[in-house]
Structure formats: structure tokens, C-alpha cells
């Protein structure tokens, strides 16, 4: 069992292969947090938690005259409300009597085999052969009878612990939940920790930012109705001197695609509290008697081996325990070409077939018909919601078009933006009440479109039916599921006035239901998520879809940063990456090298390429297929940081058995008569001898890692190198 209860000390310890996590049913039955870090065998870490009169601090009434136990200074698994802890809280609940109090004490726990599941939200799962144990601890507020159920699953071999929370109203009147954090992790000393997050913007998602802890609440979050371009629901706490290879790192990845909040508070005693969950903005959720509310899961990892160590834990785990699509491990992803940057909305069936014919010569497996094929969609002002084929453009009909593509020996994919509606659409004219807009006010327009009220069952059913009908009309192999605006005007016509605070979350629940139903009926389709590029790139979306479009920014030099930041938590097998016309001065080969740090494909008009370019593309597509197992199944290393001044960016993929590696370098800057530069490999076996691009000579892993490979200086700007290392 990876979860051990020690009766004498009332501690519960969770053990993974290299980490331990400990809590204790402590003073007055409050659940204290004792430890998370490298494995420990000590039964009771509570010697660390000093209790003394802090002066001017609150003490629970039951302590009588004793002043040593103040929740304001105690590390906790889940916080109380109005019990003298003034730091940021796990919960804010309004009881049926109007009071804002929660004094949750541990009343029960059970340890079981296997992974817990949530009924309403996506979760990771135990893969074949995994040993997973679950701890479920119930906290109870004796007055309100509100229960908080804390869930922990321990993935022993993967060094992963997941957490989730449920709130059950065991009272007899409704309560209102205003804040519920899925995780609370307290550190006794946090002044030595830095916070790393992945902020960004449209076209520049998931850039990496690191901040020192100062005495306030550091907030990372999104209130855009989706996890957003601007922040990502992943944060890391690390030693202040941690680097790629050294130092302790804690990761928190939230499985949620809506508004989220992560707060890191350094308190008056230099203790650090990290909480993460659904953002409380405009969140008021009624829980009726006997009802249960579920908060999303947080996937936690700890590594002593720097950012790379932590990334590897997430990459390995998310490649096996997150998404059930057959494209995760059983079926190789196709090399695709997408029509968007080739034609935007200006295409017809003939043009698409011509692009496919040219693409075939480039080694492409699949043509994706992007935005513009439905309703009367000639520009982005109309037709969202009208999910039927525009036969003025696709004159031969969808079935026939797909047949023509299939006859070329290629597969066919299609784009949808189901959550949206254009005011100029049949759907909107028939159902204006389905759009999110507040009665008596004009809705915010964004790309001239409104969001559908995904919390409504009739909207969900409409979308399931429409999307499924198209998917059943023809032999469709791939779907790109897009969303191109933030959600505003939060209002559901179906909900009473006092329940509008539930709409943000119910939108996400509705979205998950729609995606799930469509996937279940079409398990053979490859789905790719997209949100104006990579605006909703999160673990929950990757639970449904094995890949996600990184960004609309296809410039290969910008992509170096985009891939670098995204890779902190998400494996390269999830990163949608294409070669496009963007980057005029960047050689085609470099574009290909960059796109191979992902799912690889094209986003250009193949008919405009010269024969020579098509041939080069064919070689690159073949190379991608050749290196697929290294890129998709190997360990990924960031060899340099593109955010730092330097002349090149490098990264590497190494197979698990270390017999093969692919080391890629892009020269981003040429210094006149500068020093010779070397790239040092990582993750090789020191004693193995490796050939490089099938060379006669071989070099030891030790030499390649410690002395490195010299990079040619006499090359044009934006040149790239791809070194294929093979054990001799």
C-alpha cells in the first residue's frame, strides 16, 4: 500500500517511488499538512510544526486558555473559514443561516485500491499495470453539517499525486459555495521558493515567467471563461536557485478549462500557502441538501532534478494516464495539411482537391478543411451555428469531396467552432435565447460572434446532433475543435436570477458533456483542440483530445519560445505544430525542424510550392515519420532557453533505452566573428558510443554530454541542424 495510516501518531503518509506526502489528524481534529518532498520513512513529521503563542493570533474556542494553537500559523490540508486563519482560504461558503463559517474537522477517512473518479469532471486514470491507491478524508463542520471530502490518489511508480475536493451538504437547507480550492499546500518555509507560471497573449502563449516570493498573495488566474491565452492552469514552485537540472520543483496542473485561480501567499512567518481551483469570480453555487459539488482535479508532481525532472514526470504521466484516444499510443498521428493559411475562407471543392494533390507529393497523409465550409460563411461575420455544408463552395457535397481525397490515398479532416453563434445565422434567428447575453443589455462582440449558453441541455443536444451528423456524412478522420472568443455576458435564460453565479462553471460542464458524447460515438476520429491558437491548452482539454494547436503564430523563431514554454508541463506529443509561410527569411528546412517538435504538418498553399520545395517537404515528412518514436515516446530535453540572449536554441529527444536521440539546433542570431559554439547533449548513456547522422566515427555519450558538439559557424542566418544519434 502506498498510503499508510499510523494510529499512534494519527499521521497518514502517501508514498510514491521518490516522494512522500504526510498529513496528521492534529489538534482538535484539524487536518494538518506535515510534508511533501523527497521520500522519508519517518512516521511523524509533526516535530517540524512548532506551536507557541504567536501573540495577537486567534485560537479556537475549544483550546480554552491555551494560546499555542492558532490556525493562522498551522500548515493545513484544507483551510477553515472564520477560525482565525487570515490567509487565503480553501473555502468560502455561506451557510443557510447567512453566516460565513466553516470549521471542518476530520471525522472519517478510508484508504482504497484504485483511482477515485469524479462524476462531473474529467480525471486522469490508472493505466494498465499501474498501482494506484486512494485516500478519502471527510471533514465536517458540526454546526452546518457541511462535509468536505478530500480525495488523494497516489500513482506510485509515476511519482504523481492527484487531489480533488467534494463539498456535500448534509444539512437540511441550501448553502452557497463562493470559493472552493481543489488543493491547498502549506510550506513551513517558503521564502526560498520561486513561482513559475506560463503567462502569454494571443500569438504568444505560455511564455515562462519566474517570480520571487514577497509578502503578499501572488495571483495567477483567468476570468475569461476559459483557461486562456493569458495564463495557464499550471504553476510550479521551485527552489530559488533551481535550474533545468538541479533543485526541488513542485508542479500543480489543474484539470479545468474555465476560470481558474492559483494563489501563492507568503505569510508573516515566511510560510507559503499555495491554493488552486475554480476562480471565485462570479461564482456562487447553490448546494441543496444531500447534493454534492465537485471541484476539479489537480495533478501534483515533485522532482529534485530541476525543471527537466518535473517536466519528465508530467510528460510521462500525461502520455499514458490522461487521454484514452487510440492516437495516444496505438495509432501514429498523420502528417496533415490545413487549409486555413492556404485559402482562409476563399475555397471550393476543386481548390481543396488541388491542395491535396500537391500535398500528396509532400508526403502529407491528411487534408483538413478549416473554417469557411458551412452555412453562408465567406467571412467571419456569419454562420457560426449553422453546421451544414455550404454547397455553393463544396459543390460536389461533403461525401463526394471526402471520396476524392480518399481516392488520392489521403484522409480528410474538418473544422468546427461549436460553442459559438453568429448573430447572422439561422441558428441565432431561430434561438436568440441560446446565446449568452444579459436581458436588456447589448452583449460584448468579439470577432463578431456570441457564445452559446453551453449550460443548457437543449444547446448541448443540438451541438451533439449537428456535429455527429456531419461526422457521419462522410469518412472523416480528424476534427479540429476551435473556440475563438472569451466568454462574457454571463447569463443563462434557463436559470433563475439567483443561480446566475453557476453559469460560468455550468458552461464548462456542458462543454465536457458535448465533447465526451461526440468522442464516445466517434472513437476512431483524431481530435485536435484549438482556441484562437493555444488559448485553452490545458490538461482537461487534453483529457478529451490528444493534441492541441499551440498557437496561430507559426513563425518558427517565435515557435521556439512557444514550444519551450508549453513543454514545461505538456508533452510534445500534444503540441500541434505546422510549417507555414510565416517567417520569410527562415529556410524551409528550419521550419520543418521546428515543426518536428510537435505533431508536424503544413499550413500553406501546397500548390504554390516549387517542385524542389515539395520534394524537400516530402523528405521532411518522411523524416518525421522516421523519428516519430523518438519524438513521441522519448524524453524531451530543453538544451537552451530561447528567452535568454544567445545565438541558438537547442532541444533534444532521447528514447527511453537511450539508444537513439534527435538533437535539434536553430541558429537564431549570428554574431560576426563570434566564438565557436557547442551544444551539449543530455540524457545519453555515458558509456554508449553514438554515430551522428550515420557517421563512420562514433562518440561516447559522455563526450557528447560534457564536451558537446561543435556547431558550424559558416551558415546563413536561421539555419538549423538535426543530429540523429544512434548507438553503435
- Active site members: 538, 613
DSSP three-state, residue 715? coil
224 versus 315: smaller Cβ distance to ligand GLA = 224
Beta strands in 309-378 (DSSP E): 336-338, 366-369
- In terms of phi and psi (left: phi > 0; alpha: psi -120 to 50; beta: otherwise), the region of 429 is alpha
Residue 627 binds ligand GLA, judged by CB under 6 A: no
Q: Does 576 bind ligand GLA (CB under 6 A)?
A: no
Radius of gyration of the chain (CA): 27
Kindly tell me which of 5 and 388 has the beta carbon lying closer to ligand GLA.
388
Q: Which stretch binds ligand GLA (CB under 6 A): 132-140, 318-326, 530-538, 691-699?
A: 530-538
Task: Name the helix (H) or strand (E) containing 615.
Answer: helix 611-633
Cα–Cα dist 277/263, whole Å = 9
> 10 Å Cβ neighbour count for 584?
6
User: Nearer to ligand GLA by C-beta: 72 or 371?
Assistant: 371
Binding segment for ligand GLA among 75-83, 314-322, 529-537, 683-691 (CB under 6 A)? 529-537
Q: Give whichever of 297 and 552 is closer to ligand GLA, judged by the CB atom.
A: 552
| 430-446 residues labelled b (16+ CB within 10 A) or e (exposed) | ebeebbbbeeeeebeee
- Binder among 306, 413, 533, 683 for ligand GLA (CB under 6 A): 533
> Which residues in the 467-506 window bind ligand GLA by CB under 6 A?
482, 484
Measured CA to CA, the distance from residue 382 to residue 145 in angstroms comes to 51
Per DSSP, 335 falls in state: P
The residue range among 319-327, 427-435, 525-533, 639-647 that interacts with ligand GLA, by the rule CB under 6 A, is 525-533
The region of 40-48, 501-509, 528-536, 640-648 touching ligand GLA under the rule CB under 6 A is 528-536
Kindly write out the interface string for residues 424-453 of this chain, putting x where it contacts ligand GLA by CB under 6 A and - elsewhere. Answer: ------------------------------
C-alpha cell of residue 68:
499555542
**Per-residue contact track with ligand GLA, 403 to 422, x per CB under 6 A?**
------------x-------
Q: Which is nearer to ligand GLA, 296 or 601 (CB)?
A: 601
How many residues bind to ligand GLA according to rule CB under 6 A?
A: 11
Nearest approach, Cβ of residue 17 and ligand GLA (Å): 39
By CB under 6 A, residue 556 contacts ligand GLA: no
Distance, in Å, from the CA atom of 332 to the CA atom of 336, rounded to the nearest integer, reads: 12
For residue 296, report the phi and psi dihedrals to the nearest 5 degrees.
-70, 160
What's the rounded Cα separation, in Å, for the pair 397 and 521? 23
CB 148 within 8 A of CB 167: yes
- Please state the closest distance from residue 202 (CB atom) to ligand GLA, in A: 9
Q: Write out the three cell numbers for 158.
A: 509515476
Shorter beta-carbon distance to ligand GLA: residue 533 or 598 = 533
Short-list 536, 534, 539, 529, CA closest to 551:
534
Which ranges in 126-247 belong to alpha helices (H)?
A: none
Stretch that binds ligand GLA, among 80-88, 163-171, 526-534, 639-647 (CB under 6 A): 526-534
Mapped onto helix, strand or coil, the DSSP state of residue 138 is strand
SS3 of residue 511 by DSSP: helix
Least distance to ligand GLA from the beta carbon of 549, Å?
Answer: 6
304 or 380, CB closer to ligand GLA?
Answer: 380
Chosen residue from 132, 452, 518, 530 binding ligand GLA by CB under 6 A: 530
Main-chain phi, psi angles of 204, to 5 degrees: -140, 60
| Residue 323, phi then psi, degrees to nearest 5 | -125, 135
* CB of 92 closer than 8 Å to CB of 100: yes
For residues 175 and 93, the answer to whether their CB atoms sit within 8 Å is yes
- Residue among 256, 340, 527, 723 that touches ligand GLA (CB under 6 A): 340
Q: Is 532 in the site for ligand GLA (CB under 6 A)?
A: yes
Residue 545 and residue 549: Cα distance in Å, rounded?
Answer: 11
For residue 263, state whether it binds ligand GLA (rule: CB under 6 A).
no
Query: Is the separation of the CB atoms in 174 and 145 below 8 Å?
Result: no
Query: Considering beta carbons, is residue 132 or 530 the nearer one to ligand GLA?
Result: 530
CB-based closest residue to ligand GLA: 371
Tell me whether residue 104 or residue 535 sits nearer to ligand GLA (CB atom).
535
C-alpha span between 330 and 342 (Å, rounded): 31
Say if residues 154 and 132 touch (Cβ distance below 8 Å).
Answer: yes
Is 370 one of the binding residues for ligand GLA (CB under 6 A)? yes
Query: Is 135 in contact with 147 (CB distance < 8 Å)?
Result: no
Query: What is the nearest approach in angstroms of ligand GLA to the Cβ of residue 475?
Result: 21
Nearer to ligand GLA (CB atom), residue 370 or residue 489? 370
Pick one of 77, 156, 205, 371: the residue that binds ligand GLA (CB under 6 A).
371
Q: Rounded to 5, what percent of the chain is helix, strand, coil?
A: 25, 30, 45
Q: How far is the CB of 427 from ligand GLA (least distance, A)?
A: 17
* Residue number, 379 or 461, with CB nearest to ligand GLA: 379
Q: How far is the CB of 588 from ligand GLA (least distance, A)?
A: 21
Angle, alpha carbons 106-107-109 (nearest 5°): 85
Decide: is 528 part of the binding site for ligand GLA (CB under 6 A). no
CB of 484 to ligand GLA, least distance (A): 5
Q: 210 phi and psi, to 5 degrees?
A: -125, 130
> Could you give the 3-state DSSP secondary structure of residue 6?
strand
Applying CB under 6 A, which residues contact ligand GLA? 340, 370-371, 415, 482, 484, 530, 532-533, 549, 552
Amino acid at each position: 500500500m502506498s498510503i499508510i495510516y499510523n494510529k499512534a501518531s494519527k499521521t497518514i503518509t502517501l508514498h510514491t517511488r521518490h516522494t512522500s506526502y504526510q498529513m496528521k489528524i492534529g489538534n482538535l481534529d484539524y487536518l494538518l499538512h506535515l510534508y511533501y518532498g523527497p521520500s522519508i520513512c519517518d512516521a511523524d513529521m509533526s516535530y517540524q510544526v512548532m506551536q507557541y503563542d504567536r501573540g495577537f493570533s486567534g485560537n479556537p474556542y475549544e483550546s480554552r486558555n491555551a494560546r499555542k494553537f492558532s490556525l493562522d500559523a498551522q500548515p493545513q490540508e484544507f483551510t477553515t473559514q472564520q477560525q482565525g486563519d487570515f490567509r487565503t482560504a480553501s473555502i468560502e461558503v455561506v451557510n443557510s443561516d447567512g453566516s460565513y463559517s466553516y470549521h471542518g474537522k476530520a471525522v472519517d477517512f478510508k484508504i482504497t485500491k484504485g483511482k477515485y473518479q469524479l462524476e462531473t469532471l474529467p480525471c486522469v486514470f490508472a493505466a494498465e499495470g499501474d498501482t494506484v491507491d486512494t485516500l478519502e478524508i471527510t471533514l465536517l463542520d458540526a454546526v452546518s453539517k457541511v462535509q468536505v471530502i478530500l480525495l488523494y490518489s497516489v500513482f506510485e511508480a509515476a511519482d504523481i499525486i492527484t487531489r480533488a475536493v467534494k463539498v456535500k451538504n448534509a444539512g437540511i437547507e441550501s448553502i452557497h459555495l463562493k470559493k472552493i480550492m481543489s488543493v491547498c499546500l502549506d510550506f513551513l518555509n517558503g521564502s526560498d521558493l520561486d513561482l513559475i507560471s506560463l503567462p502569454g497573449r494571443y500569438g504568444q502563449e505560455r511564455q515562462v515567467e519566474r517570480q520571487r516570493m514577497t509578502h503578499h498573495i501572488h495571483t495567477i488566474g483567468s476570468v475569461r471563461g476559459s483557461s486562456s491565452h493569458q495564463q495557464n492552469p499550471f504553476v510550479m514552485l521551485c527552489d530559488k536557485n533551481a535550474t533545468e537540472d538541479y533543485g526541488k520543483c513542485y508542479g500543480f496542473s489543474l484539470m479545468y478549462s474555465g476560470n481558474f485561480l492559483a494563489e501563492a501567499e507568503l505569510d508573516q512567518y515566511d510560510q507559503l500557502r499555495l491554493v488552486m481551483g475554480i476562480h471565485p469570480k462570479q461564482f456562487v453555487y447553490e448546494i441543496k441538501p444531500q447534493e454534492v459539488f465537485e471541484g476539479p482535479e489537480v495533478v501534483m508532481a515533485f522532482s529534485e532534478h530541476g525543471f527537466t525532472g518535473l517536466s519528465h514526470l508530467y510528460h510521462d504521466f500525461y502520455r499514458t494516464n490522461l487521454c484514452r484516444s487510440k492516437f495516444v499510443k496505438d495509432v501514429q498521428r498523420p502528417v496533415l495539411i490545413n487549409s486555413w493559411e492556404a485559402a482562409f475562407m476563399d475555397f471550393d471543392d476543386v481548390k481543396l482537391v488541388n491542395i491535396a494533390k500537391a500535398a500528396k507529393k509532400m508526403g502529407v497523409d491528411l487534408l483538413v478543411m478549416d473554417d469557411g465550409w458551412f452555412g453562408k460563411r465567406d467571412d467571419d461575420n456569419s454562420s457560426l451555428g449553422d453546421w451544414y455544408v455550404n454547397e455553393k463552395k463544396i459543390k460536389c457535397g461533403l461525401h463526394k469531396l471526402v471520396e476524392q481525397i480518399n481516392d488520392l490515398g489521403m484522409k480528410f479532416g474538418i473544422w468546427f467552432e461549436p460553442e459559438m453563434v453568429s448573430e447572422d445565422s439561422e441558428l441565432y434567428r431561430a434561438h436568440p435565447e441560446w446565446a449568452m447575453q444579459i436581458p436588456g443589455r447589448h452583449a460584448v462582440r468579439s470577432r463578431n460572434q456570441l457564445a452559446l449558453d453551453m449550460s443548457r441541455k437543449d444547446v448541448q443536444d443540438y451541438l451533439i446532433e449537428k456535429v455527429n451528423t456531419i461526422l457521419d456524412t462522410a469518412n472523416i478522420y480528424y476534427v479540429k475543435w476551435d473556440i475563438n472568443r472569451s466568454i462574457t455576458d454571463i447569463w443563462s435564460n434557463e436559470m433563475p436570477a439567483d443561480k446566475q453565479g453557476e453559469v460560468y462553471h455550468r458552461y464548462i460542464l456542458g462543454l465536457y458533456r458535448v465533447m465526451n458524447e461526440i468522442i464516445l460515438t466517434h472513437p476512431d476520429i483524431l481530435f485536435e483542440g484549438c482556441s484562437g491558437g493555444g488559448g485553452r491548452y490545458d490538461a482537461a482539454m487534453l483529457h478529451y483530445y490528444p493534441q492541441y494547436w499551440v498557437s496561430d503564430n507559426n513563425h518558427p523563431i517565435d515557435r521556439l519560445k512557444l514550444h519551450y514554454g508549453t513543454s514545461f508541463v505538456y508533452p510534445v506529443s500534444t503540441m500541434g505544430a505546422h510549417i507555414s509561410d510565416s517567417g520569410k527569411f527562415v529556410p524551409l528546412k528550419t521550419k520543418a525542424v521546428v515543426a518536428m517538435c510537435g505533431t508536424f504538418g503544413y499550413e500553406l498553399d501546397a500548390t504554390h510550392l516549387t517542385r524542389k520545395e515539395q520534394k524537400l517537404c516530402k523528405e521532411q515528412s518522411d523524416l518525421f515519420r522516421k523519428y516519430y518514436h523518438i519524438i513521441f515516446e522519448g524524453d524531451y530535453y530543453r538544451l537552451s532557453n530561447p528567452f535568454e540572449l544567445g545565438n541558438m536554441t537547442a532541444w533534444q529527444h532521447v528514447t527511453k533505452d537511450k539508444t537513439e536521440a534527435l538533437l535539434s539546433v536553430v541558429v537564431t542570431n549570428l554574431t560576426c566573428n563570434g566564438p565557436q559554439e557547442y551544444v551539449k547533449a543530455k540524457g545519453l548513456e555515458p558509456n554508449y558510443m553514438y554515430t551522428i547522422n550515420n557517421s563512420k566515427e562514433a562518440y561516447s555519450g559522455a563526450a557528447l554530454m560534457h564536451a558537446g558538439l561543435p556547431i558550424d559557424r559558416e551558415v546563413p542566418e536561421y539555419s538549423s541542424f538535426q543530429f540523429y544519434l544512434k548507438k553503435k
